[in-house]
Amino acid sequence: MQPGDVIRKYRKNKDMTQEELAKRLGVTAPAVNKWENGNALPDITLLAPIARLLGITTDILLSFRDELTGDELRAIIYELDSMLKEKPYGEVFLWAKKKLEEYPNCEELILQIAIVLDAQRIVQDLAGEKEYDDYICSLYARMLESDDEAIRSRAADALFGFYMRKEKYEKAEEYLKYFSIQNPERKRKQAWIYSKTNRTAEAYKAYEELLFSFYQMASGALHGIYMLALEQGDMERAHMLVKKQEEMARCFEMSKYNEVSSRLEIATLEKDADTVIATMKEMLSSIGQIGSYRESSLYADMDFKELQEEFLTELKHNLLECFRNEESYGFLKNDKRWQEIIRQNQ
């Protein structure tokens, strides 16, 4: 809404004529008429008096709002998207610029309009593209100063993609600093830059580290869901999740030990002696290969620390102590297979 539209709306709400408003402001009625028709703007010194007479703030008079409601924001973006399908890009571009002048501090609107305009630029071959690119990038750059981390990250992501498309890889790399070191997207983007700049060894290593960390994250998430299922007494779901854990460990080549160990807890809870005994045997026999993932071609370029013999010895000792636990495994006390496991591993 333009200032003239605001003046007309609130003047009428006050049951005030143009002549009455003009008289109280010390201007002519034709001047008010020009404001309301969008042919002129009030002098800056009149903004506060106009706002007071109409019972509004100067921000409302100028249609300045920091934020839009979700529905308002979606309506603007929908209108922008519809216009891009029907009208020339240049015309819609100017409309978008004016819309941002109405809401200069609404960061979500600024970012979304920039993203929509940018996406359309990718699929259209346009004359004068530098003007469009410079403006869109300036919007992204403004959002890098936002206090909202999510806004900053999305703007950095957009600028990263923009410069990758332009094959300006060094410039693209500058925007990685806006992503947390713990954010996997930063690692993925860095690997992509390595691959595009002939740093093949670094690219392999970065992608492999990402793959390795994905396994750890996914495994942790599956275990969390599994624990929730146990708490809810949903044993069918818990069994499904244990199976998924096994399959994932196998897929990521994380060693036989990691494949089989996930099934021990649920078998113990259900006092499934056959499965518990079989799992104990497999875990003990595979301890020596617990670090076999280091030899996997999936992680050929990663650097791993050597597993010390002392670590393996201590792990085996702790496992046996666990297997002897009366509270957990008392139901196996008279099982000769359990007794043999303990005896053989004294």
**Tens-digit pLDDT profile for residues 200-232:** 999 999 999 999 999 999 999 999 999 999 999
Summarize pLDDT for 269-310 with one digit per residue, the tens.
999 999 999 999 999 999 999 999 999 999 999 999 888 899
Q: What are phi and psi of 227, to 5 degrees?
A: -65, -40
Contact 80, 33 (CB under 8 A): no
Both structure tokens of 145: 């100063």
Looking at per-residue pLDDT, the higher value among 317 and 102 belongs to 317
> What number of CA atoms fall less than 13 Å from residue 329's CA on the CB side?
24
CA dihedral 162, 154, 60, 2 (to 10 degrees): 20
Q: What is the CATH number of domain 3-61?
A: 1.10.260.40
Closest CA to 297 of 220, 211, 215: 211
pTM, two decimal places: 0.73
33-37, 101-105, 151-155, 337-341: range with lowest mean pLDDT = 101-105
Q: Is 306 helix (H, G, I), strand (E, B) or coil?
A: coil
pLDDT value of position 123: 79
* Average pLDDT of the segment spanning 8-31: 90
Domain range summary for the chain, segments of one domain joined by +: 3-61, 70-179, 202-344
User: What CATH fold (topology level) applies to the domain 70-179?
Assistant: 1.25.40
Same fold, 3-61 and 70-179: no
70-74, 186-190, 203-207: range with lowest mean pLDDT = 70-74
* Average pLDDT of the segment spanning 171-200: 94
pLDDT(124) > 80: no
The DSSP line for 112-128 is: HHHHHHHHHHHHS--TT
Inter-CA distances, 310 with 86, 284, 288, 293, 313, Å: 71, 15, 11, 19, 5
pLDDT value of position 46: 86
pLDDT value of position 193: 97
